[in-house]
Structure 1
Amino acid sequence: MSNISYRQFCPVAMAAEVLCKRWTLLLVRELMLGSCHFNDLRRGVPRMSSALLAQRLKELEAAGIVARTAPACATDPHEYHLTPAGQELRPIVEAVGVWGQRWVTTEATLRHLDANLLMWDIRRNVRPEPAPAARTTIEFIFGDRAPPERNYWLLVERGHEADLCTVDPGYDVDLYVSTDLRTLTELWLGYSDWPRALHSGALRLTGPPERAAQLRAWLPGSAFAAVAKQAA
């Protein structure tokens, strides 16, 4: 628990002392979404330093929200999982996300574009159904970004989790997605739609039509994309 206290016995104040420190709720979000290794957690909070991430994990562990488990093999990393107390935060974090999608303005959201975070979220939410029989490689090209945020490769294969590469994996590319970071972020957040982006030329899909159709089905948008905006 933080050394800084509200000095109130109110349960809201007591919970806020644990949960309202910078990055803490985002770290809980990452654990909710299935990240359990230190490096995977970092990919979900790329602007958080390793030292602060380690500190927040220790604080959450001390608060009984996170449990750290030792690896079966000494060379494997520790794993972090939400305890029952941590799992009880799920509807709270989801409600905060719904509120943010509904009431934070579009422009305020889009001032914080982040290619690495966007592609990591796409990777863990891609729904390849039906799964391709052979590995499918999709290259995303952000024409408005400089390396290393210009090119990403999404690998989808039956029986495996989707993988995201920031270095060319050397496989033949089945579909190229050429766009700018704002356009793909708007699509992912539900602020725009595929027909509009394709018609305007802000998004181009190069490859077999069946692959392009698959991609549109595989990327349903963020967990909050269906929440209607109330703020402009």
Structure 2
Amino acid sequence: MPAQRGYRQACGVARGLDIVGERWSLLVVRELLLGPKRFTDLQEALPTASPNALSDRLRELAAAGVVRRRQLPPPGNVRVYELTPWGRGLEPIVVALGTWALAAPRTAEQLFVSVDSAMLTIRTFFVPTPERPETTLRIELRDHGPAGVFGVRLTSAGAEVAHEPPKDPDAVLVTTTEALLAAFGTEDPAALAAAGTVITGAPEPVRHLIANVRIPTPQGA
């Protein structure tokens, strides 16, 4: 945040808000938690942010040391934005803020869910089963096209989510973002069937995934 618009307080909360308190800043951080993105990727994930606003936030976050820009090697050969190690320290803050806000009712305007936000739900709220064998899944959220392809690894420690899918997954789940979010916490993959979901490979990893993503339902304030 520009110095003239800062809070001018030594408190850590105020200093933190001077860095990430501007509109769109924390959502940029959210979108980079699963890996680097191009500017156009960030635009797709934040469709109501103007290009100028997004450019301003990226410039300010880079100046503060939260985000950096780098060139990917061939064959990618594109410029991407990514979190610095210090910027990655914001993850528990972003997750805690999102969990706290679950107590607030969603408004009629709050409909869009970015693909990374949906997949972060898995990483955040998956409850692992001790001693359970590791399994891998390829998830394709078809309403997001190529950007909706992810790899998920379920272990006894938790869920790992990456933009790169595994080469030989135990199961492949093709569905929509809305259907996936609605199925979390249920015990039967058949809950996804009404949305035209396709499951190939072993159905058990899919059942284990959706049953064990347990989104808390806190009481309203």
Q: Could you say which TM-score interval applies, normalised by the shorter chain?
A: 0.5 to 0.7
User: Which of 213, 220, 228 is the matching residue for 2:217?
Assistant: 228
Contact 1:126 1:220 in 2 (8 A): no
Larger Rg: 1
Q: CA deviation at 1:184?
A: 5.0
Q: CA deviation at 1:34?
A: 1.6
Q: Distance in 2 between matches of 1:155 and 1:219?
A: 17
Which residue identity lines up with residue 231 of structure 1 in the other structure?
G
> How many percent identity over aligned positions?
31
Decide whether aligned partners of structure 1 residues 40 and 66 sit closer, same or farther in structure 2, where only a CA change above 3 A counts: same
The 3-state SS of whatever aligns with 1:203 is helix
Report what 1:203 is aligned to. 194
Decide whether aligned partners of structure 1 residues 10 and 204 sit closer, same or farther in structure 2, where only a CA change above 3 A counts: closer
Q: CA deviation at 1:95?
A: 1.4
RMSD: 4.4
TM-score with structure 2 setting the length: 0.62
Q: Distance in 1 between matches of 2:119 and 2:74?
A: 27
Decide whether aligned partners of structure 1 residues 64 and 112 sit closer, same or farther in structure 2, where only a CA change above 3 A counts: same
Runs of 4+ that moved beyond 3 A: 70-75, 119-132, 151-158, 174-177, 183-188, 193-198, 204-222
- Larger mean CA deviation between 122-131 and 8-17 belongs to 122-131
What are the ranges of 5 or more consecutive residues in structure 1 without an aligned counterpart? 141-148, 163-173
TM-score with structure 1 setting the length: 0.60
Report what 1:146 is aligned to. none
Contact 1:175 1:207 in 2 (8 A): yes
Decide whether aligned partners of structure 1 residues 39 and 196 sit closer, same or farther in structure 2, where only a CA change above 3 A counts: same
Q: Distance in 2 between matches of 1:211 and 1:204?
A: 19
Which residue identity lines up with residue 7 of structure 2 in the other structure?
Y
What are the ranges of 5 or more consecutive residues in structure 2 without an aligned counterpart? 124-133, 153-162, 166-171
Q: Deviations over 1:8-60 (max 9, x none)?
A: 23232222122111110111111222233223323332322222212111100
Decide whether aligned partners of structure 1 residues 55 and 72 sit closer, same or farther in structure 2, where only a CA change above 3 A counts: same
Q: Deviations over 1:132-169 (max 9, x none)?
A: 8xxx9x685xxxxxxxx6x96866799x824xxxxxxx
Report what 2:164 is aligned to. 161
Q: How many residues align?
A: 194
User: Which of 159, 164, 186 is the matching residue for 2:182?
Assistant: 186
Q: CA deviation at 1:176?
A: 7.3
